[in-house]
Amino acid sequence: MSCDAHTAGSIPEQKQKKPDWLRVRLPVGEGYKHVRSIVDTHKLHTICESGNCPNMGECWGAGTATFMILGNICTRSCGFCAVATGRPDAVDWDEPQRVAEAIHLMKVKHAVITSVDRDELPDGGSNIWFNTIKAVKSLNPDTTLETLIPDFKGIDDQIQRIIDAAPEVVSHNIETVEQLTRKVRIQAKYWRSMEVLRKLKQGGMRTKSGIMLGLGEQKEEVVQTLKDLAANGIDVVTIGQYLQPTRKHLPVQRFVHPDEFNEYKEIGYGLGIDYVESGPLVRSSYHSEKHVISGYGKMAWAKEKALLQSN
């Protein structure tokens, strides 16, 4: 599911004001209403809602949503995440078919699915993941699919189930730099996540990961994270601004300027990463339909740079 601070102790006393570049449109329009109806009718969860995504109005208005399987209660308590933590409900074995039917009704060419962590389950939820991918592919053979998965504690057979289901893109977010991982992700491990991404790549998957800025990381730490991802064969990286969901979550230490996001984009491409999506409002599934296409990102960035230079 899907941060820049100086150190764990540097919490600002006052909430920082959001800059103009973080303003978003309110959810309106028939496209938004259509997606809202499908989600409600099929009793589905979305990370768009549970994660308080700032792009929900834009994406739902365009007829797309990121579905969240295995319930909406997570067994982990990450300091950045708006998803509820607690004791999850029982596994709903009918959920894969409902998700597949919802994607069919939406008639989207590309779909994204994520999940909460289910560490209490012997299989980590990997069998529901496998069934969901297969159900979506069966009912929607022309729809490409991205799966944003948990780390499954690095357990090989659980990771292999995702590989065997063969989605077009498999994403697992590193979320933050190594130094801040224990503070931001708590039960997760930086190098375990890197190992998961490496195993997915070795299994033939197109791999993707995401980083949040704004919880205290230094620029050189962001660059090192990009180097670590590149060394583990990552194909796609998303970089966005962390926004504090509630006062109970980690505070924003800094709002990163769009120019700095462009710097990281340039560095990522220089490291050989195939697609780098970097900007204040970027989230894991933002523009994800483009992340399936090899080479598209570099071409788009070349055009964007030329436009920036001409202005």
**Where exactly are the structural domains of the chain?**
21-310
What the block records as the tokens of 1 is 């599911």
What the block records as the tokens of 290 is 């483009």
- Determine the Cα–Cα distance for residues 268 and 249; give it in Å rounded to an integer: 29
Q: Please check the confidence at residue 290 and state whether its pLDDT lies above 50.
A: yes
8 Å CB contact between 132 and 99: yes
- How many other C-beta atoms can be found within 10 angstroms of the C-beta atom of residue 231? 12
Phi first, then psi: give them for residue 132, nearest 5 degrees: -65, -45
8 Å CB contact between 94 and 131: no
8 Å CB contact between 129 and 115: yes
**Residues paired with residue 69 on neighbouring β-strands, in sequence order:** 115
Mean pLDDT across 108-133: 94
Q: Which has the minimum average pLDDT: 22-31, 79-88, 116-125?
A: 22-31
Phi first, then psi: give them for residue 85, nearest 5 degrees: -110, 140
- How many other C-beta atoms can be found within 10 angstroms of the C-beta atom of residue 37? 11
Q: Which has the minimum average pLDDT: 42-51, 149-158, 217-226, 255-264?
A: 42-51
Residues in the chain, overall count: 311
Amino acid at 63: G
Pairing of strands 45-46, 66-69: antiparallel
Q: Please check the confidence at residue 39 and state whether its pLDDT lies above 90.
A: no
Eight-class DSSP state of 4: B
Name the CATH superfamily for 21-310. Aldolase class I (3.20.20.70)
8 Å CB contact between 118 and 125: yes
8 Å CB contact between 118 and 70: yes
Q: Which has the minimum average pLDDT: 35-49, 103-117, 168-182, 278-292?
A: 35-49
pTM above threshold 0.85: no
What is the per-residue pLDDT for 93? 95
Tell whether the torsion through CA atoms of 32, 36, 38 and 39 is positive or negative.
positive
